[in-house]
Chain A
């Protein structure tokens, strides 16, 4: 198995004066080398907190890593020291954020910000680091990089700032790039530019990517596999075509049915999901989606299902994990063949699984 990152049973809470917020509630997933994993879900589902915790970027307190581990190169990131994490952040695992105006330092020049990680992580002297910075900025499409090195973030447009962020994130050729809604705040034509850029860079550099978003259109073009989150839990995980063509969790199905289409002539009403996502102020008992689910049965209210591999059509749940089956028969395990859902009901029959 080629997992470059393995997260197990991660649970993160926030302790606030108003009570505990159960932000992430026991999730496990893997990321393979060179694959692009999309993490989708609506606000509050825990997608950002998950990634921030992996890199030690959640303030503790009020955050609290209640459980879990995140294994990268035999190191558990959740139980490492700050000094150990500093060697990883920006060098092995990089992150880009939604709003480049607040994630770039407004009082430092672009040159200072990009060369900082080159000097720190790669030990390059200033002159070499500057040359590298220019090369990186050219790579991300800033053709007048040389002239603009001494500019400040506010002198760039939103799209250009995001390109600078990408250049900084890739400066040390990380193995994993985590992108947290990097195009959500951008206009659609600029978003298209940035997505094209990221695809080209991915081809060239071969890094693994985790792309966090609520935009199911962007995911369709970018991801190899998709994880769908709801109320701090993973509800569905599968290869991208499976998620769109054969979704099996009621939440995924409802989300796809609520989407309007710019490319299709349609005249029906949008199927909305009644109610609203839970506020996460209470511990999860039972499936968090049950109150809004068309398929809920009694069991859904009493026990929160864990994600389980779907059986092959008409078959029974195998005692072996697909990975075990693959190695048992001498084959190679392709994580894209996994299709896990956390649900007590078989949506195709409406009955318990």
Chain B
């Protein structure tokens, strides 16, 4: 369980899930749902307020010293913004080999440079560009540099925090294909955080949907997309535009009214009840506005938090 409160912002409020070795779990939701906070807390970039996170048998929340360093090698992160996540004053070589240096894995500059060259080639970049600076690369190439850095210490688990959102469509496909190739080659496990539901369907094995700090539904990919059970998931999927004019024009969307409430003051009971098409609201008494729905396994491997399902 992970629970985080800072002042009164309930960014991530009591979520539980696991990720199997070699799997890609998608974590989706709209702005403010807590997915990025969850991803960063899982790696220890934010300190969890409560709960525990275990990566390959090590508990992030209680580890320190040697064990902490071990976890930090086994788990890494790829960030969203290829322009903000690379230090503009460091060469690509320095950026990629920083984790190696910090963990003392290779002692000499020559060894680290060689490893950096290997990593550059792994991600499809020219090893001769080792001494260039980030501004000399395009957005897609910078993202590849970020991936190379994430691979530096041979991790087992990578949190991909919206790794392609800032890229053009034709480059997104390149980077996603690279991530899939690397996963197969190195038996990696991914937590893929994104808001692009089409890309999530492509790359993920299972998907968890978040709303205002809680997970509302989690299921294997095709089950979620073809038979979503939670009203929010249904509305979310019905909003995704599809590049097919005939289909798109015939669709009946579930349009949610209003805006997402603030996580500083989330609604009582089910957080989604204020916008839910099927919730019964006050003055009609209902569980939706008063009781937090239980997180239940409705069908094998298909979990939902909803009173009406």
A residues contacting B by CB (< 8 A) are 42-43, 157, 159-160, 187-193, 195-196, 214-221, 240-241, 244, 254-256, 258-263, 265-266, 269-274, 276-277
Contact = CB atoms under 8 A, between A and B. Distances in A.
A157 B259 CA distance: 8
Contact of A217 (B177, B180, B242): B242
Contact of B201 (A157, A262, A271): A262
Interface stretch (B75-83, B146-154, B164-172, B281-289): B164-172
A217 B249 CA distance: 11
A258 B177 CA distance: 11
Most chain A beta carbons < 10 A, residue from B138, B170, B255: B170
Given A258-B173, A276-B138, A220 B248 contact: yes
B182 interface: no
Given A259-B198, A260-B199, A276-B138, A214 B169 contact: yes
B223 to A, nearest CB: 11
Contacts of A266: 202
Interface stretch (B17-25, B96-104, B112-120, B231-239): B231-239
B259 A159 contact: yes
A157 B242 CA distance: 26
A42 B202 CA distance: 21
Interface string B171-200: 111101100100000000000000111111
Given A193-B255, A221-B249, A272-B174, A262 B240 contact: yes
Contacts of B246: 241
Main secondary structure of the interface of B (DSSP, over half): helix
Interface of B: 30-31, 138, 140-141, 168-174, 176-177, 180, 195-203, 222, 225-226, 235-249, 251, 253, 255-256, 259-260
B80 to A, nearest CB: 14
Given A187-B30, A190-B259, A220-B248, A270 B242 contact: no
Nearest to A197: B255
B177 A240 contact: no
Contacts of A269: 177, 180
A217 B176 contact: no
A255 B174 CA distance: 12
A223 B239 CA distance: 17
A240 B171 CA distance: 24
A126 to B, nearest CB: 30
B239 A189 contact: yes
A220 B242 contact: yes
Given A192-B239, A276-B140, A217 B248 contact: yes
Contacts, number: 132
Contact of A272 (B173, B200, B222, B247): B173
B245 A271 contact: no
Nearest to B30: A187
A263 B241 CA distance: 9
Contacts of B260: 187
Nearest to B141: A276
A127 B202 CA distance: 54
10 contacts: A43-B168, A188-B239, A192-B253, A217-B243, A221-B241, A244-B244, A258-B173, A259-B169, A261-B243, A263-B244
Contact of B240 (A43, A217, A272): A217
Given A188-B236, A196-B255, A256 B173 contact: no
Contacts of B226: 265
A118 to B, nearest CB: 27
Nearest to A254: B170
Given A189-B255, A273-B174, A276-B138, 6 more contacts: A160-B259, A189-B235, A220-B241, A221-B245, A262-B237, A270-B173
A262 B197 contact: yes
B166 to A, nearest CB: 10
A255 B244 contact: no
A240 B222 CA distance: 29
A141 to B, nearest CB: 9
Contacts of A189: 30, 235-236, 239, 255-256
Contacts of B256: 189, 193
A195 B260 CA distance: 18
B169 A255 contact: yes
Contacts of B202: 260-261, 266, 270
A69 B33 CA distance: 47
